[in-house]
Amino acid sequence: MSDAPDAKPVGAGRQLLFLREEELRLAQDLLFFGYRDFTAGPDAILAELGMGRAHHRVLHFVGRRPGITVGELLAILGITKQSLGRVLTPLVEEGYVTQQPGRNDRRQRLLSLTEKGEALERRLFERQREWVMQAYREAGPVAVEGFRRVMRGLMGPEARAQLDRASGGAPGSASGGAPGGKRSAA
């Protein structure tokens, strides 16, 4: 079930210089439905706690880079300080995230997850892990690698740079090849 039969229908390698209309329509649908259902699991958990997707994003990125500054987090999320505040402040007050002054620059508030925060992040994480694992298993390893390459291509240059930074400085690890991304900026 992993590999496509001889069907070879839509022809991924047809004539990529001109993206046929139906091919893009399909991509639009896939991204809309796929992203929606991908986030549905965590959303349900968060709703019980009176939180939303924005809280998850903060937990996710703070968990990935403990000690991140508020400014860095703002840059990653691409939102304003005020928008972040409305999500971050409650997370701190309810004991999911801690702030400690930076050692070099004491104006900074370095953010980290508390045990409580890590526990919640992990709970959300596990929910998504199962979902993604299922999709990966159905699709097979080759498809997974392709998925990563395409998704990376859909990202703007800034997001790519952030991703590389967040991934711990192994830039090409996800894209395999295709380094040339000279995207014209979103």
Partner DNA sequence: GATAATGTGTCAATGAAGCTGACCCAACAC
Partner DNA sequence: GTGTTGGGTCAGCTTCATTGACACATTATC
3-state percent helix, strand, coil for the chain, nearest multiple of 5: 60, 5, 35
Taking CB under 7 A as the rule, which mask of x and - marks residues 78-117 in contact with DNA?
xxxxxx-xxxxx---------x--x-xxxxxx--------
> At its nearest, how many Å lie between DNA and the CB of residue 43?
8
Tell which phi-psi region holds residue 98, choosing left (phi > 0), alpha (psi between -120 and 50) or beta: beta
Give the C-alpha separation, 174 to 148, whole Å.
6
Residue 93 contact, options a copy of itself, DNA, none, Cβ 5-8 Å cut-off depending on partner type: none
**Which does residue 127 bind out of DNA, a copy of itself, none, counting CB within 5 to 8 angstroms by kind?**
none
Pick from DNA, a copy of itself, none: which does 28 bind, CB < 5 to 8 A by kind?
Answer: a copy of itself
Residue 59 binds to DNA (criterion: CB under 7 A):
no
Phi/psi for 104 (5° steps) reads -85, -50
Residue 112's H or E segment, with its range, is strand 109-113
Q: How far is the CB of 7 from a copy of itself (least distance, A)?
A: 6
Partner from DNA, a copy of itself, none binding residue 75, C-beta < 5-8 Å depending on class: none
Give the DSSP H or E segment for 159: helix 157-166
Judged by CB under 7 A, the chain residues 147 through 176 that form the site for DNA are none
SS3 80: coil
Which residues contact DNA by CB under 7 A?
46, 50-55, 57, 69-72, 77-83, 85-89, 99, 102, 104-109
